[in-house]
Amino acid sequence: MEDKKDIRSLEFCELEDVFSKLGEPKYRAKQVFSELCRGKDINEITTLSKPLRAKLCDMFKCELPTVETRLVSKIDGTRKYLFRFSDGQSAESVFMKYNHGNTVCVSTQAGCRQGCAFCASTKRGLVRNLEPCEILSQIIGIEKDTGERVSGIVLMGTGEPLDNYENVIKFLHIVTHKDGLCIGARHISLSTCGCVDRIYDLAKEDLQITLSISLHAIDNETRSKIMPINKKWNVETLLTATKDYFAATGRRISFEYTLISGVNDSKEDAKAIVDKFSQIFARSMPLHINLIPVNPIEETQFVPGSKTRIFEFQSILEKGGITATVRRTLGPDINASCGQLRNRAQDQDT
């Protein structure tokens, strides 16, 4: 027997169709959609009659993952979660507090197939994509646990969002809908390692999200060594796609650049970024590079450079007309970057 679809994976228009086919008024969709996005089970939506709730339970499942692990930073209140789904797979999420509101970093896949050398999330490969409801449920679970509203989302956890394109787009439609979580698209960032074909698809979606490009090296030889996707779409092809994305959407592009000592963090590397950007991007195009000192993981020998070296790198970019910031480290005492918590849980399962 085919497994039932989870009702939380339905977009608002799909839920309207469900009630229409059941002979129910369309306003039912608004009632149910709002309650589901806030974590209620079908049987907890008491504005519906018991017979109608029973019908929906026959048609759909309605599941939330369990919190397997919760780590809370004593330094800044950052929380790291490992959520366990009904099939035994898990995903990591991070709750971060800022002056402007609370942001959650969500995972979009169980594992990852991209093979980036510095990333713990990809070391066990890809198991499966997460459904829209499973990405949504990470936010629901965190809001329930913290008792606080989430106002921003970054799709930068485990997995490559554009490798799970259809499910991620549905998730974005759900969380931005006025009757859902109503999180503004401008408060959502999606990070990709460089799936160029999907960047062009995303440009057509009319979503005012921020696209973040995981760059991490500016020359093709280095980038191909640490990011295998560069062998399919090289630096020039990727940067051209980002330029075209900006032309289509008007949204500023952000670049993520993990600084690895002795690999990509020299003065020459910084100057090469300035040169390459000036070749491809117009001076009027707003660009931002977020510099990230590499997070050491067990599987590699990568380490960050000194603070002096990092700020020299930043200075060269800024003198070249590129806005550059060094990422603030959140939850240092709980190792808040993604991947290692899930890997340790898998080791315990085997």
Active site residues: 92, 338
Residue pair 257/215 in contact (Cβ under 8 Å)? The answer is: yes
Query: Which pair of tokens denotes residue 137?
Result: 């449920």
Cα 289 to chain centroid, rounded: 17
Q: Which of 70, 62, 104, 72 is nearest to 90 (CA)?
A: 70
Distance CA 350, CA 338 (A): 20
Q: For residue 185, what are its two tokens?
A: 């698209």
Residue type at 100 in one-letter notation: H
For residues 27-43, b (16+ Cβ closer than 10 Å) or e, as one string?
Answer: ebbbbbbbbbbebbebe
Q: What tokens does 170 get?
A: 């549905």
β-bridge pairing 287-293 and 253-259: parallel
Instruction: Name, in order, each residue with C-beta under 8 angstroms of 249's C-beta and a sequence gap of 6 or more.
Output: 203, 208, 211
How far is residue 158's CA from residue 346's CA, in Å, rounded to a whole number? 14
* DSSP at 178: T
| 81/141 Cα distance (integer angstroms) | 9
Within 8 A by CB and 6+ apart from 23, the residues are none
